[in-house]
Structure formats: structure tokens, C-alpha cells
Amino acid sequence: MAALKRRSDRTGTPSDLLVVGLGNPGDEYAGTRHNLGVEVVELLCDRHGGRLRAEKGSVLTDTIRIGDHRVGLAFPLTYMNESGRAVKPLVRRHSIDDLTKLVIIHDELDLPVGRLKLKLGGGLAGNNGLKSIKQHLGTADFTRIRLGIGKPPGRQSGADYVLRRPAKAERPELDVMVAEAADAVEMLVAQGLEPTMNRYNTADR
């Protein structure tokens, strides 16, 4: 179990889960592959009667109830490369001592389009948002929901690819994956990490 600091160092009402969708702020980035994690957080807000609001610390955030559980939702407004600057205060505010209860949702080049997987800790696959979070928290032992967007075609750079909006033909498959990611968060709350990983990481899905 990954622990950050003593509970006595915490502020705020404890949450059972803190879910952070990575992306970039601004209309020019809305709907791009790099902002799929944000779409999951927005969908969870819609499902459970929440509304993301701006708070100090460069973040849009709200707290919802999923069943009997308190769940924090957030979208850092720091741009992807500085995500950790917003995430660390959120971890303190929601009294997250066990970092497996911190769920980071992000796009993933190393998974095919529409493929969703959960992961605890491990390598960061060059994702600068994850690198920033690791730097600020001092560990990568948090939970991740990885949203597959596939490799860029031809000689297109990865940076250019993730910052573009997907083709119309690709969008329905991504919408299904976003909905499944929201389902996975709900299952995490109700059943925990291992059953959720078993459900969503199977090869035949």
C-alpha cells in the first residue's frame, strides 16, 4: 500500500476515491485525444449530479456520491506537463493516504484505439502528465485507467497526434471507451481494484 504522509498532515473531508482526468485546458484542446481523461470525469459528473467548478490551485473539481461513497473528481488546469502541481494539493484536500485510491485517467499510445486497461504503478510510458504527478508525489504507486488511442499513422509525431481531434469514424469507439472508463470507476468504488482489473484487463474484451 502506497502511503504519502500521516493523516495528521491532511486537510479536508476524506474521500473514498480521488479521480483525476488528465488533459489541457482551453477550447482548442476540447475533444482531442489528449483530453479523453477529462471526458471521463465530465461523464461521471453528469451521471451523479455533479458540476465541475474552478477552485484555487488551478483545477476544476467537485465531490460526488456513488452509492454510499464520497468520490472527488478533478481536471487540472495546469496543462498536462504540470499536472502534479494540481494533483498534490488535491491528494491532501481529499485526505488520500493510500495512493491506490488516487485514480489518474489518461490517453495511452501503447494501447489500440478503444482498448481500456487499469494499472497500479509501473512505468509511465513517456507520459509527461504522469511524470509530473510522480515528481510531486514522490511515487508512481497510484492507480491508472489507460485509454487506448493507438499509434500515430505514418510519420506523424506522437505529440501532434494526441493534440488532434480523432476522425469522425473513430469517435464512436472512443465514446464507448469513455463510458466504459466511467463504469470502471464506479466498479472501483463498489468492489475495489483487483476485481475491476480482472473485469477490464482481460484480453478477450
**Neighbour tally for 120: CB within 10 Å:** 15
Q: Which of 34, 94, 106, 136 is catalytic?
A: 34
Cα dist from 159 to 33, 152, 153, 162, whole Å: 10, 9, 12, 6
Provide the grid cell at 50: 455533479
The order of strands in the sheet holding 59-66 is 53-55, 59-66, 69-76, 17-21, 102-108, 143-148, 116-120
Q: Is 34 a catalytic residue?
A: yes
Asked if 36 and 114 touch (Cβ cutoff 8 Å), the reply is no
Provide the grid cell at 182: 466511467
Backbone angles phi, psi at 147, to 5 degrees: -105, 110
Which has the closest alpha carbon to 69: 12, 8, 14?
14
Classified as helix, coil or strand, 96 is: coil
Which residues are known catalytic residues? Answer: 34
